[in-house]
Amino acid sequence: EVQLVQSGAEVKKPGDSLKISCQGSGYSFADFYIGWVRHVPGQGLEWMGIFYPDDSRNRYNPSFQGQVTMSADKSTNTAYLQWSSLKASDTAIYYCGRCIFIYHNGVWSNHWYFDVWGRGTLVTVSS
Amino acid sequence: IVLTQSPATLSLSPGERATLSCRASQTISSNYLAWYQQKPGQAPSLLIHGASTRATGIPDRFSGSGSGTDFTLTITRLEPEDFAVYFCQQYDSPITFGQGTRLEIK
């Protein structure tokens, strides 16, 4: 069974650093992009970025570029999302998901959806 | 592309039919639209991709339809386990999500 297991809830202060994780199992972890999605309570879901564990290729939503850093460790099948200096506005639930890209006319396209998600990590940033 | 889901909340009884709408602010090419179900405290789960293709293991009471800017998720004969939040996602470019529809027991 394909699973993504995310790290537990975090409570941090503004200015703190943080690294949350997403461990994959049941599939070849390095061969699939992992995406990150933010859900601020009461607001919609926002795509943050995607990361390819095999060669560290990545793509950030411009809204999150420079605000967070994605990474992965192939040896432990784990993807990470990190902040160097948290803000209160980073308070949200963060989901990871396995990306399925569309193969069309013999070429991998730029379109993907998530076929498996983690349960989410609640990050609370408060002084 | 902004996705608007309606209604925000849908109150129905088990056995009834649910019709959930997802409307896009502009045409979604190649029906690049997915539907997900999320229950409290659980990971979202993929129901439909390509607007109408059921994901592996999804019961046939779930069906997706539509094209262009108007998409629908239909659940025939609601089961108790179907009461959850449903959200749509377009993956035309760049990906965006709808705000969700809460399907609650009447």
A64-113 pLDDT, tens digit per residue, is 999 999 999 999 999 999 999 999 999 999 999 999 998 888 888 889 99
C-alpha to C-alpha distances, A10 to A4, A36, A66, B25, nearest whole angstrom: 18, 17, 21, 36
Q: Nearest CA to CA, how far is B19 from chain A (Å)?
A: 21
| Chain A residues contacting B via beta carbons under 8 Å | 4, 37, 43-47, 61, 95, 97, 100, 102, 104, 110-120
Average pLDDT, chain A: 95
C-alpha to C-alpha distances, B55 to A14, A96, A113, B91, nearest whole angstrom: 41, 19, 12, 16
Q: What is the average per-residue pLDDT within A51-63?
A: 95
Eight-class DSSP state of A82: E
- Mutation target among B32, B91, B93 for the A interface, most CBs of A within 10 A: B91
Structure-block tokens of residue A20: 């949350």
Amino acid A53: pLDDT? 96
Higher pLDDT, A42 or A31: A31
Report CB contact under 8 Å: B43, A117.
yes
